[in-house]
Amino acid sequence: MKHQQGASYIGVLVAIVGFAFLAKVAIAVWGPYFDDRMVDNQVEELLKTAPANMAPSQFSQQMDQRLQMNNIRDLKFDDIARVTNTDGLQVHKNYEIRKNFVMNIDLVMKFEKEFDQSTVKTK
């Protein structure tokens, strides 16, 4: 009868490298997704409280202030979104973030969403 053997050193090494790879991906992706979710929440909050005749430039200025308060300092609202005021405020957010992953491999995350003041207020 043969003795049972556990995991080999190579098997353990492969498991550690795989875990480290997944941890690196999670760490690289977590920040931008968290920031995007915070931007979405702030846009919806401001759309709920803003008057329908608010100027797009004023909306952008208030959003920049809210992003600064929430410690999102690497995104400028005018760079990531376009605000129009036809039949109420509409915000079209469209941007991408590139994060260096390993050597010359980048992770590209694209964020796109549209907000309409009338639909946000009815929620």
Rounded Cα–Cα distance for residues 49 and 47 (Å):
6
The per-residue pLDDT for range 4-46, each reduced to its tens digit, is 677 788 989 999 999 999 999 999 899 999 999 999 999 999 9
pLDDT: which is higher, 87 or 104: 104
**With bands split at pLDDT 50, 70 and 90, how would you rate the model's confidence at 117?**
confident
Rounded Cα–Cα distance for residues 18 and 3 (Å):
28
* Pairing outcome for strands 89-102 and 105-116: antiparallel
At 98 the pLDDT is 93
Domain definitions of the chain by residue range: 32-122
Tell if the pTM clears 0.85, that is, is over it.
no
At 1 the pLDDT is 57
- Residue positions counted in the chain: 123
Residues 6+ apart with CB under 8 A from 67: 38, 39, 42, 73, 75, 77
The per-residue pLDDT for range 42-78, each reduced to its tens digit, is 999 999 988 888 899 999 999 999 999 999 888 899 9
**With bands split at pLDDT 50, 70 and 90, how would you rate the model's confidence at 118?**
confident
Rounded Cα–Cα distance for residues 86 and 106 (Å):
38
